[in-house]
Structure 1
Amino acid sequence: MTHLILLLLGGEFLRRRGRMLVIIGWLLLLAGIGVFIDALDGALYFPLALFAIIFILEGSATLLIAKSGVGGQRVLRFAKGLFAVTIGVLILAGQHHGHFVLSMIFGLLFLADGVMQCTAAYVVRYERWKYVLASGIAEIALAIFFFQPYPTHYVGTLPYFLGLFLAFSGLKLLALAGRVKRLGADSTLHDHRQANFMPTEDLAGHFQDVTFDGPPQQTERALTVHIWTPTGSAKAETRNYPLVDRYIAAVDVNGVISTGHAALETPDGIYISLYPAQEIDRSPDQFAQLLRATADNDVPGVFQPDYATESRAWCPSSVQVRIRNYDARRLAAFWEAYRQEATYNLTHRNCSSSVSNALDAALEGAVGRLHGSKAGWRVLLRLLLTPELWVAAQIRKRALTMAWTPGLTLDYARAMSMLADPRPFGWWQMSQAALRRIADMRAAWRRQDQEATARGSRQS
């Protein structure tokens, strides 16, 4: 999540506040260590009730606007809201049972995530897979720590969790602050170096508003992410495998596997669509071996010329996500460097990872671009309160530790579109709609009373 916050606010925001990022990083690290140590002796000075109320309020607000999400966004919003409310209720319940259930929940979450990371790292073998494997093992060790009662018999569960969260957040901030310092003034957060890009301040004022009522109209200038879903691009009728055919691959009645496709298009003439030069045999017998992101699975790739050509040769994209607030120059610089190599790897360098990386380059500084010199701590707070930030962070983490797929890219693009082209706060819109509904009802009641009074006067 930290990476996305800094990505969306942009390098200019980072450089102006580099010293403050270091200070906040150290404060979070020390606070996390302090909170964790405080919970070890069982004599808690941590305000559990306050954090429980915060969890319940935040979870309730997320649940209220969960239905406004699309696809995986809606599911993640409901999951996040229910999780936060459940945690808050268990904290307020207190006593031994509440703390025990809370420990089991945190333990299961760490265990599931750790096992998933270890499995993905071992099977896919992407770059830095050993680091991710070690991270997964560490999560499993934390799960065991939460499962067993020592040393506080589950009373310190929440402080342990928050202490770890604060400490790791502080470490990430310190690492990012150091990275920005090393990059210098003419670089971005990406691995692809850029020169002579347009500063965020020069792009400010391009939009008259800082919030938008909805996605861009067809007549508006916008970047478009094209997604061919696995089921939508299959040549024959597919079998029904929930979640698998949405995020991984679809299998048709003949046993042929379809993984879908992703592409990115801009009105500036950029079209990013990486495809293997020769069709890969994706039969079930060989598919497991193809999942490895190793050099022996690299094959020659080809970049499609444009959407019109690709859609005519295959089929129209199943879903399109359009974003008006993007940086054409950063995207062009990314594309100029990325297109120099056309290697294709099913999990490590595929169509979806190409589009996701390009989208990150295009949206770097998107929030700062809207607010210009006014982009400060208030803008950061609003970004933190946007549910799509959490959604995008979870999708990105899962994709980086496993593989980008068209389904994950679709949900990621949808979440990032809500961050780059922010809507008015959902809870604010709902509260305003509720107040308008109450006012309309009261006005209708007054009219009914007036009509009843008038009828009574005529009858008398």
Structure 2
Amino acid sequence: MPQLVLLLLGVPYLRKRARALSAVGIFFLAAGVFVFIDALDNALYFPLNAFAVLFIIEGLGTLLIASTGVGGQRVLRYAKGLFVLLAGGLILAGQHHGHFVLSMIFGALFLMDGVLQCLAGYVVRYDRWRFAFGIGVAEIALAIFFFQPYPTHYVGTVPYCLGLFLAIAGLKLLWLARRVKRLASNPAFTDGQSAAFMPAAPAPAAPVWDGPPADAEHALTVHVWTPSGSAKAQTRNYPVIDRYIAAVDVNGVISTGHAALESPEGIYISLYPKDEIDRSPDAFATLLRATADNDIPGVYQPDYATESQAWCPSTMRVRIRNYDAEKLAAFWSVYRRNSTYNLTHRNCSSTVAQALDAALDGVVGRLHGNKAGWRVMIRLLFTPELWVASQVRRRAITMAWTPGLTLDYARAMSMLADPRPFGWWKMSQNALRRIALLRSRWREQDKDASLRGPRA
């Protein structure tokens, strides 16, 4: 998450607030350590029931405004609301069973994430995979800690999680503050192209858009060909696999899908292997490692019209209004010099993700111009899509960027780059509009009744 905050707000915005970020980070770290240690001695001072009531209020509030979301945002809010409501209910249920179930849930989540990260690191062998493997092992150790009853017999589950959350948040804020003090430009780009970026002029105002851009609007477009939608033959039904990894058709041929990025300024970024890769199940497993021996020549497609005519139209599109055309052009001028293709390390999806990061560098801070204060950062931190984009980005970096992950990432980033009304505000505005409409109809009815006169 700190990388995305740095990316969207920009280095100049955060450097002005580096000292305050350090102070908040120290406070969060100390509070997290205190809460965690307090939960270890089986004499809890943490207000569990009050915290559970807050959980239930948050869950109910999220469910009430979930219908104001768009697409995946709506699903995310419903899922978050139900989970928080369940957690609060289990805490209030008390006794042994509620705390036990909650501990098993958190343990299972840590275990699944840790095992997946370890397996992905060992199989794909991406850069710094050993560090990610170690993080996975730590998550598995935390899962074991939640599974076993010592020392509080599961009563300390919530303080443990809150303490870990505060401590990790504090460490991330300290990392962010220390990082921005040393940077002249954003380090989110891996090919050294950030030094060529030029700052854009600050925006005069900070608009809020209610919904995605219309087709006629000036906007950046991320094209995604989903694995099942781009397969040449009918595919078998594997719900999660064919959404995020690959689809297998009735002939056993694997389709991984494709991703591209298009800007109104004429930039089209679409990397494809120069020669078709053998994607039969036997050969596919050997291509998963992100090592140099799997590098092959690639080619950049000239434009969307040519690519879609030679293949098929994209099955999904994500459009973003607020982007930096100059930074995207600077990125592309450097990145296009190397057309190497690697199925898991440098593919079409990773290329689009890096280009999208370049186009969105500092756009949230720039959108508010000189008026950008702490409210901008707080709003960003409380936007659910920041967490979604962070998790997608983390999963993609530790495994591989795929068209499905790129689609989710682009959708989340579009809602961060193009600010949308908060759910409560949107719901209240809808309610006021309905009230005004009803009052208008009532006035019309009263007027018609007065014109008709009294009945005989």
Same fold (TM over 0.5): yes
Match of 1:153 in 2: 153
Hey, what's the Cα distance between the residues in 2 that align with 1:60 and 1:7?
32
1:300 aligned counterpart, secondary structure:
strand
Cα displacement (A) at 1:114: 0.8
Once the two structures are TM-superposed, the CA of residue 450 in structure 1 deviates from its matched residue by 10
Shift in CA distance, 187/119, structure 1 to aligned 2, threshold 3 Å: closer
Matches within 5 A, 1:296-315: 296-315=293-312
Contact 2:206 2:368 in 1 (8 A): no
**Percent identity between the two aligned chains:** 72
Q: Look up the match of 1:231.
A: 228
Q: 1: CA distance between counterparts of 2:415 and 2:47? A: 34
Is 1:176 aligned to residue 176 of structure 2? yes
Summarize the Cα distance change of 1:278–1:66 in structure 2 as closer, same or farther, 3 Å threshold. farther
2:28 maps to 28
What are the superposed Cα offsets for residues 211-264 of structure 1, whole Å, 9 maximum, x if unpaired? 012222222221111111112211112222212111111111211111110001
SS at match of 1:302: strand
Structure 1 runs of 4+ aligned residues shifted over 6 Å read: 442-457
Q: Does residue 118 of the first structure (1) align with residue 115 of the second (2)?
A: no
Could you list the runs of 5+ residues in structure 1 that have no partner in the other structure? none
Range with bigger deviation, 327-336 or 436-445: 436-445
1:89 aligns with 2:86: no
2:370 is matched with 373
Q: For the residues of structure 2 that align with 1:187 and 1:73, how far apart are their CA atoms?
A: 28
Alignment of 1:42-191 (within 5 A): 42-67=42-67, 72-183=72-183, 185-191=184-190
Q: How many residues end up aligned between the 2 structures?
A: 455
Pair 1:258 & 2:258 matched:
no
- Counterpart contact for 1:2–1:169, Cα < 8 Å: no
SS at match of 1:275: strand
1:287 pairs with 2:284: yes
| 1:54 shift after superposition | 3.2
Return the alpha-carbon distance in structure 2 between the equivalents of residues 219 and 99 of structure 1. 53
d(CA) in 2 for partners of 1:141 and 1:225? 39
The AA in structure 1 aligned to 2:298 is: G
Residue equivalent to 2:361: 364
How far did 1:165 drift?
1.2
Q: Is contact 1:187-1:193 (8 Å) kept?
A: no
**Cα distance in 1 between the residues matched to 2:454 and 2:144:** 78
Match of 1:416 in 2: 413
Aligned position for 1:204? 203
Structure 2 unaligned spans of 5+:
none
Whole-Å Cα distance in 1 between the matches of residues 312 and 437 of structure 2?
A: 48
Residue identity opposite 1:372 in structure 2:
G
Q: CA deviation at 1:58?
A: 3.0
How much does 1:307 deviate? 1.4
Identify the residue that residue 434 of structure 1 maps to in structure 2: 431
Equivalent position to 1:340, from 326, 337, 342: 337
User: Hey, what's the Cα distance between the residues in 2 that align with 1:306 and 1:227?
Assistant: 14
C-alpha displacement of 1:203: 2.8
Greater Cα offset, 325-334 or 349-358: 325-334
Q: State the match for 1:222 in structure 2.
A: 219
Verify the 8 A CA contact 1:62 1:387 in the aligned structure 2: no
The corresponding residue for 1:317 is 314
CA contact (8 A) 1:213 1:423 kept: yes
Q: Which residue of structure 1 lines up, in the alignment, with residue 5 of structure 2? A: 5
**Structure-2 residue corresponding to 1:38:** 38
Query: Displacement, 1:359?
Result: 0.7
CA-CA distance at 1:3 after TM superposition? 2.2
- Alignment check: 8 A CA contact 2:53 2:88 kept: yes
Query: 1:456 and 1:271 mapped to 2: Cα distance?
Result: 68
Query: In 2 relative to 1, CA 253–373 (structure 1 residues): closer, same or farther, beyond 3 Å?
Result: same
- Contact kept, 8 Å, 1:180 with 1:189, in 2: the verdict is no
The range that moved more, 444-453 or 163-172, is 444-453
Distance (whole Å) between structure 2 residues aligned to residue 7 and residue 424 of structure 1? 21
TM-aligned CA deviation for residue 187 of structure 1: 4.7
Asked if the contact 1:215–1:323 (Cα under 8 Å) also holds between the matched residues in 2, the reply is yes
Q: Please tell me whether the aligned partners of residues 220 and 319 of structure 2 are also in contact (alpha carbons under 8 angstroms).
A: yes
CA–CA distance in structure 2, aligned partners of residues 73 and 251 of structure 1 = 29
| 1:406 maps to 2:403 | yes
2-side partners of 1:240 and 1:68: how far apart?
A: 31
Is it true that 1:390 corresponds to 2:363 in the alignment? Answer: no
Give 1:72 shift.
4.8
Shift of 1:407: 1.0
Contact 1:73 1:391 in 2 (8 A): no
Deviation at residue 266 of structure 1 after TM alignment: 0.9
Matches of 2:52 and 2:451, distance apart in 1: 53
Q: Which moved more, 1:394-403 or 1:316-325?
A: 394-403
TM-fit CA distance, 1:449: 9.7
Tell me whether 116-125 or 90-99 shows the greater mean CA deviation.
Answer: 90-99
CA distance in structure 2 between the aligned counterparts of 1:324 and 1:444, rounded to whole angstroms: 37
Is contact 1:271-1:307 (8 Å) kept?
Answer: yes
CA distance in 2, matches of 1:411, 1:361: 17
Q: 3-state SS of the aligned residue for 1:190? A: coil
